[in-house]
Structure 1
Amino acid sequence: MAVIDIGSNSVRLVVYEGLTRNLSPLFNEKTLCGLGREVQTTGLLAADAVEKALSSLRRFRALCRIMKVGRIYAIATAACRDASNGADFIARAEQIAGAPIEILSGRREARLSALGVISGVFKPDGIVGDLGGGSLELVEVHGRRVGTGRTLPLGGLALQDNAQKSLKKAERIVRDGLSEVPFLQQGRARNFYAVGGTWRALARIHIIQSGYPLRVMHGYTIPAAEALDFARRLRRLAAAGMLADIETVADARRPLLTYAALVLEHIIQIARPKAIVFSTYGVREGLLFEKLPAAERTQDGLIADAQSMNRLYSRSPGHADELASWCDQLFRAAGLKESVEERRLRHAACLLSDIGWRAHPDHRGEQSMSMILNGHFGAVSHQERALIALAIYYRYAGLNPVNEAPADVRALVTAHMLERARLFGAIFRVAHLISAAQPGVLSATRFRSRGRKLELVVAPKAAELAADRVASRFKQLAKLIGRSGAVVRG
């Protein structure tokens, strides 16, 4: 299955394994065509941009053929809906792409952007802003509820065109445009979800300049005050001609960084959000999320992604579900408290607890941690991603301070979350040692609490598995929760 996204700046093809809750991209390619660079002043798609876009579509059609894509969904956004020659271009594009192309209205584009954020962020609350080349879509989200969206001609190419490359004119256009969106005032102390390639380019620069340990764009979060200072600093650098050599940003995007920073700056000043959260889930993901059966749309995106990795990489995928139930029993027996959100992260960690078994024993911890820190996960913040990664690191590397996890990763989580990660790792070390990651073993054990003593009771049929190493690890686990521990037969 594939999506062709004809935007005002780029034309993109993304091929997915199938229509599921956890979308797995098999192939992703874009061409920066600049279809919308003259639409505001001439009313037309530029002739050279049209030919470049059609050439890209020919390649995309060929790629879909050799990859045996069964269904192509094609969409077009602001430039094509606003240009007087947009319909002619779409007619030619449909013949080349071999699929009907839906020209999204501004309101529908805003809704799909919101659905994309809903699919990729756990319980989002705030305002989604999708900045493309031709337009800015704004829409309020709360959980799974989507407000009525607004579209404004504030995309980078449109601003550059309308303002005739004058930042003073662009600032006036942005200020006037955003004043027409009353629900921006509802963003106070909530999140602003930034969608779109140029805003992601801003985030990439911030990540590099701040020395942040992860390179994952989705879920990257900047406090609003810091983001405001950063946007202003970028504008000053642009005015001084100091953005031309930023190698991390494509040449065609660099001139648009200033306009993206300008729009973000004014949104922060008006909406006063608590944080800017960058989302790589947007219109394309929202389009596919909308097509899922209702029951699948309600699934937890993190758990769906973790289940997929469990099936791909674990020795016995069924063991992970047993492990989650086993952990539930331990938490009840030991009287350990956790929130609904913490329990969800624990279950995700259970699903990922055996993904590193093929690596060399000396590197299983590091490799598993890297797979999780940099993996294609949705519905998880960077902090939560780090907690899960640390838990699996400790599961393999142990809890000896000599093998402590990297400091920059530990710095991503709170002290409480680090304790949880160590606890999860200790639990997994007991479970996988006693069961060899095979299903049907953990069910032969149970937990019993006797005062300050926690016991792991092993049924007679599994008694031979309760060796000294299991007892040693269980005592270590019990110590973490302030108990003494023992393995008993019963």
Structure 2
Amino acid sequence: MTEQRIGIIDIGSNSIRLVVYERTSAGAHRVIDGSKRAARLSEQVAEDGTLPDKIIEELVDMINHFRLICAHHNTGLIRAVATAAIRNSANKDHVLSRIHSETGLQIELISGEEEAGYGFLGMINTMSVTDGFLIDIGGGSTEVSLFKERRLVRAVSFPFGCVSMTRQFAKGGMLPDAQLKELEQFVEQAVDRQPWLKQNPGLPLVGVGGTARSLGKIQQALVKYPFESTHNYPIEGQAADALFELLRKLPIGKRKNIPGLSKDRVDIIVPGIAILRTIFRVTGASNYSICGAGLRDGLFFSTRFPEQPRLEDVIMYSVNNLAALHPEAPLQHTSQVNRIALQLSGLLLAGQPSKEQSLLFADVASTLHRIGASIDYYDYKRHTFYLMINSRLNGLTHRELLVCSLIASYKSKNRMKQMAAPYKALLSDDDLTLICKLGTLLQLAIALDRSETQAIGKLAAEESDGKLHLRAVRANGSLDVERKEVESQAGEFKKLWGLKPVLHEH
């Protein structure tokens, strides 16, 4: 069905992007295509403040190209928005009417506040963060928002971005001390007119958009970070400052060779980070956090779920979406395993300080443990690990995602350690112990529905005399397969939990 596909076109000041989203027959959402073109519209504005006809023609060409890609995908709806470069141009009406007449697309010209709102929605639906500042440094504008209790409180759109600041202060991308000071004073004066920005110190500064993502990628390459995603990646203020000075001192020719920095950002990255650092300092932020989602994601959520675009539970929405992308896993079986795993975890983790987080790990791992079978049933656990690590499971830190993936794919302690080896910098000894314990607990839950017939209707569990007594009420069929499987798991389980599981039938 064509309405199951939505194309989002974002006409930004630095680049123009397309993302095509699909809703699968199982109700999951995923991105099926995307394209990006560097535009630098903020640089192209003429002396009189207009966008020249030549630039409008190039813009029309790009949008028609994106429209064709959408047509190939039978996209039922295309939503196209324009931000600062067109918003601030003296001939914006002419630009929009030409695009409309030559592409057939009605472009939404969104205000700075709307831009901040969509950026916030994209971020809050993909991260488990409650309070903070959000910053989106575009080519021609910078949006800063304050959010508390996961709700947007205030937002401002400043009429400067990394492209316009490069033009004003950093000719050729170089930013000497005197120009850096001028740029910082320029930003500080703009902030002074928004006193609320200085009244909430100690909150994280979440960065969306290309400048923030580039900062994350360069920092990860510099420290040889073992995980590939920049989404939900934290950076300390001092580390960002050191990286900024390193980039600022490098001539453009050498800056091109910095790992993690894309070629089309070589000249605008330093002014971009200069804006970021100044806002960080004046707000009194605690640390940076990089967000891989933003405006386009916010537009998708507001288009797809107009009644309630903000998600209540980011983690479980994301987990259930990933499970629905791999419908080959038998749903009744995984639901049964999930119920049993949570029941046993609740009993065995009672009174432990990290019980809530451990229950979350058990929930995520047991829901997703079979998704690897969509690649191949043989060795599906290894495929499950790969899929979880490489699918953005929103709301989890990189460490939490690793822990959940290792529990979901757990087979034995040695194999788990092999799989964890490349990421050992992110995991503590306590994490490895917990993975083994919850991994064997998941194995026991799988054993209790080994026939995949949901033969156990009701399960009562209790600890006594060194045993974990599992009293099952049969729903149908025999429990012979389950009993044998529990017996084969008993030795490993006892080693880690100090209890021997025994299955009794009622």
The two structures share one fold, judged by TM-score above 0.5: yes
Match of residue 78 from structure 1: 84
Answering whether residue 306 of structure 2 is matched by residue 285 of structure 1, we say no
Counterpart CA distance in 2 for 1:56 and 1:380 is 36
Match of residue 473 from structure 1: 489
* Correspondences of 1:23-422 after superposition (within 5 Å): 23-39=29-45, 42-163=48-169, 165=171, 167=175, 168=179, 169-238=182-251, 242-246=254-258, 248-291=260-303, 292-294=305-307, 297-313=310-326, 314-336=328-350, 337=352, 338-357=354-373, 363-394=379-410, 397-400=411-414, 404-422=418-436
Superposition deviation, residue 38 in structure 1: 4.2
| Structure 1 residues 416 and 267: CA distance shift in structure 2, 3 A | farther
Counterpart CA distance in 2 for 1:480 and 1:384 is 21
Counterpart CA distance in 1 for 2:444 and 2:69 is 48
* Correspondences of 1:408-487 after superposition (within 5 Å): 408-436=422-450, 438=452, 440-443=454-457, 445-450=459-464, 452-459=466-473, 461-487=477-503
| Structure 1 residues 178 and 437: CA distance shift in structure 2, 3 A | farther
Letter in 2 for 1:273: A
Letter in 1 for 2:421: A
Root mean square deviation of aligned Cα = 2.8
Unpaired runs of at least 5, structure 2: 1-5
How high is the sequence identity, in percent, across the aligned residues?
Answer: 24
Letter in 1 for 2:295: V
The range that moved more, 332-341 or 275-284, is 332-341
Superposition deviation, residue 408 in structure 1: 3.5
Superposition deviation, residue 279 in structure 1: 1.0
What secondary structure does 1:426 align onto? Answer: helix
Letter in 1 for 2:467: K
Are the equivalent residues in 2 in contact too, given 1:316–1:439 (CA < 8 A)? no
Superposition deviation, residue 364 in structure 1: 3.8
Superposition deviation, residue 187 in structure 1: 4.9
Superposition deviation, residue 458 in structure 1: 4.2
Counterpart CA distance in 2 for 1:437 and 1:246 is 54
Superposition deviation, residue 190 in structure 1: 2.0
Are the equivalent residues in 2 in contact too, given 1:7–1:132 (CA < 8 A)? yes
| Structure 1 residues 411 and 319: CA distance shift in structure 2, 3 A | farther
| Structure 1 residues 184 and 109: CA distance shift in structure 2, 3 A | same
Letter in 1 for 2:493: L
Q: Could you report, residue by residue, the CA deviation over 1:95-145 in whole angstroms, capped at 9, with x for unpaired residues?
A: 344332111111111121111111111233200001111111000112331
Are the equivalent residues in 2 in contact too, given 1:81–1:105 (CA < 8 A)? yes
| Structure 1 residues 358 and 272: CA distance shift in structure 2, 3 A | same
Counterpart CA distance in 1 for 2:255 and 2:484 is 62
The range that moved more, 48-57 or 123-132, is 48-57
Are the equivalent residues in 2 in contact too, given 1:186–1:271 (CA < 8 A)? yes
Counterpart CA distance in 2 for 1:207 and 1:465 is 48
What secondary structure does 2:50 align onto? Answer: coil
Counterpart CA distance in 2 for 1:442 and 1:259 is 63
Unpaired runs of at least 5, structure 1: none
TM-score of the aligned structures, taking structure 1 as reference length: 0.90
The range that moved more, 282-291 or 79-88, is 282-291
What secondary structure does 1:255 align onto? Answer: coil
What secondary structure does 2:386 align onto? Answer: helix
Counterpart CA distance in 2 for 1:404 and 1:443 is 37
TM-score of the aligned structures, taking structure 2 as reference length: 0.87
| Structure 1 residues 295 and 158: CA distance shift in structure 2, 3 A | closer
Report the count of equivalent residues.
487
Superposition deviation, residue 241 in structure 1: 5.2
| Structure 1 residues 118 and 97: CA distance shift in structure 2, 3 A | farther
Letter in 2 for 1:181: Q
Are the equivalent residues in 2 in contact too, given 1:125–1:143 (CA < 8 A)? yes
Are the equivalent residues in 1 in contact too, given 2:218–2:259 (CA < 8 A)? no
What secondary structure does 1:447 align onto? Answer: strand
Counterpart CA distance in 1 for 2:90 and 2:302 is 30
